[in-house]
């Protein structure tokens, strides 16, 4: 593998979103430096329920040179400005987690401190009233302009997305091999993976192997016994149902996450259909109850029978073990409450390209760095998801009483304590979620700080009022120029055109 005279042989086990994202990125960025083979079987279906993204997907697509309109047409994609959370703080309550910035901050203090001062005087509205994305979402508006006024992501058809990526990757040099993996051959001396054996008798040898085999983790766990870190003590949901329905109204530019007595359900609008799903804890809801809850909450005709999914929240103890890197569901699972599943694949692929193991077996330091960054990303997202559950006033079911009473990781406990004490929030250099996101969810979940930075009192009540009114006028003026979401979709990227 460390012979510089030949390309590094990369073998990707499994297709789906994870496999084809990795294949496309490797062949587009490393070109003749790698020889990429992707092994997948038509007999094995993909999960294909991850249909919602976050704004980092746009950066990744730019990295790969993907045309946005072409991608959106091919995947029936719509635009996404954030997530509406319903019944999480308490039954009947609703808040919005927007992308982009909220209000205006200064070097000393973030916007929430000034908003809290305004609230003390009885004005200022809701925190996210000062977000263009939240207001555009509420009015069902969207536009993509050269000025990039709105921060946005996508809702997409995951199966169509894998097909779209494959159509890019194969002409660029990725070799696809159809077949079911029956055995993983290991090197007797090093313990590294040497080759994959297929049911038809093929032997696919490689230098670096990417495990994209989903929950089975055929390479990372089945062959290498990497180990799994279970997070179900904090994230008790372990099952899901997914179904698509015919669209009955124009698509809204946001995801809906609606809490129920033992978990939550999602609604993800595409151009001609709606993605629906129910996430639940099997200890608190039976499969039959879950099916009834899902079907009672959908709109439009189901396009197929709901598909069941079982999972455990957690991550592999090492994302990179020997010469194998686990991606997607093979690397672990965090429920898609904040649409981070596809992001975790993208950021892992980006990092792999940045620290690619051209030196072969002498890659221990690279793997250690990769694993440390991966752990930070996964734990950061884990904490953000736990926040939605633990910070609640719901006590209407055993599930929610359990959530409210559980002891959270110290890293999250510190964030909650800091915000409760002083309205403080922060974003580390490698953190995915920004201050605005932490504040939006903490306030939305009912965590009201006891105090805040007194620099906000340097402004008189009148000056603060005028500042917020000025911001409101600016947002209102921007909104007037933004068309309805469905109208912009039809003009920019209508599916089938």
Residues with a catalytic annotation lie at 80
Q: Rounded to whole angstroms, what are the CA distances from 18 to 129, 280, 325, 491?
A: 36, 24, 12, 30
Q: Rounded to whole angstroms, what are the CA distances from 62 to 58, 170, 204, 338, 342?
A: 6, 19, 32, 22, 15
Residue with tokens 């221990």: 364
Cβ atoms 11, 196 nearer than 8 A: yes
Distance CA 146, CA 268 (A): 26
Distance CA 93, CA 80 (A): 21
369, containing H or E segment? helix 364-390
SS3 170: coil
Cβ atoms 128, 96 nearer than 8 A: yes
Dmax (CA) of the chain: 78
DSSP summary character for residue 73: H
Q: Rounded to whole angstroms, what are the CA distances from 148 to 100, 143, 464?
A: 11, 9, 28
């Amino acid at each position: 593998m460390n012979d510089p005279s030949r390309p590094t042989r990369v073998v990707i086990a499994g297709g789906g979103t994870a496999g084809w994202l990795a294949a496309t990125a490797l062949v587009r960025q490393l070109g003749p430096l790698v020889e990429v083979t992707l092994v997948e079987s038509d007999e094995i279906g993909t999960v294909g329920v991850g249909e919602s993204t976050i704004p980092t997907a746009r950066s990744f697509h730019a990295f790969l040179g993907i045309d946005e309109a072409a991608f959106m047409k091919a995947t029936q994609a719509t635009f996404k400005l954030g997530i509406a959370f319903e019944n999480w703080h308490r039954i009947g309550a609703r808040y919005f987690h927007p992308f982009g910035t909220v209000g205006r901050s200064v070097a000393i203090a973030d916007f929430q401190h000034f908003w809290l001062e305004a609230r003390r005087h009885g004005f200022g509205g809701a925190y996210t009233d000062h977000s263009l994305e939240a207001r555009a979402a509420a009015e069902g508006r969207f536009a993509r302009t050269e000025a990039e006024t709105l921060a946005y992501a996508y809702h997409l058809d995951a199966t169509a997305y894998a097909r779209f990526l494959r159509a890019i990757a194969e002409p660029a040099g990725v070799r696809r091999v159809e077949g079911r993996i029956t055995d993983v051959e290991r090197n007797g001396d090093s313990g590294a993976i040497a080759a994959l054996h297929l049911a038809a008798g093929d032997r696919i040898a490689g230098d670096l192997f990417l495990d994209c085999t989903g929950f089975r983790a055929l390479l990372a766990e089945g062959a290498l016994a990497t180990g799994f870190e279970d997070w179900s003590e904090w994230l008790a949901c372990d099952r899901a149902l997914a179904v698509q329905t015919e669209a009955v109204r124009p698509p809204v530019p946001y995801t809906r996450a609606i809490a129920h007595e033992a978990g939550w359900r999602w609604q993800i609008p595409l151009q001609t259909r709606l993605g629906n799903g129910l996430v639940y804890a099997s200890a608190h809801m039976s499969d039959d109850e879950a099916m009834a809850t899902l079907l009672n909450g959908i709109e439009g005709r189901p396009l197929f029978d709901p598909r069941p999914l079982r999972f455990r929240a957690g991550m592999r103890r090492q994302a990179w073990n020997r010469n194998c890197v686990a991606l997607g569901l093979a690397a672990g699972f965090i429920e898609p409450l904040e649409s981070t599943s596809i992001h975790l694949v993208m950021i892992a692929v980006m990092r792999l390209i940045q620290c690619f193991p051209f030196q072969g077996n002498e890659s221990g330091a690279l793997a250690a760095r990769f694993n440390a960054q991966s752990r930070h990303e996964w734990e950061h997202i884990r904490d953000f998801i736990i926040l939605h559950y633990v910070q609640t006033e719901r006590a209407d079911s055993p599930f929610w009483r359990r959530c409210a009473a559980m002891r959270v990781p110290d890293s999250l406990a510190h964030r909650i304590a800091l915000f409760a004490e002083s309205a403080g929030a922060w974003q580390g250099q490698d953190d995915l979620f920004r201050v605005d996101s932490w504040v939006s969810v903490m306030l939305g979940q009912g965590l009201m700080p006891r105090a805040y930075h007194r620099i906000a009192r340097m402004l008189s009540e009148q000056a603060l009022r005028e500042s917020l009114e000025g911001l409101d006028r600016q947002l209102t003026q921007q909104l007037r120029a933004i068309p309805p979401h469905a109208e912009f979709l039809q003009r920019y990227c209508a599916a089938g055109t």
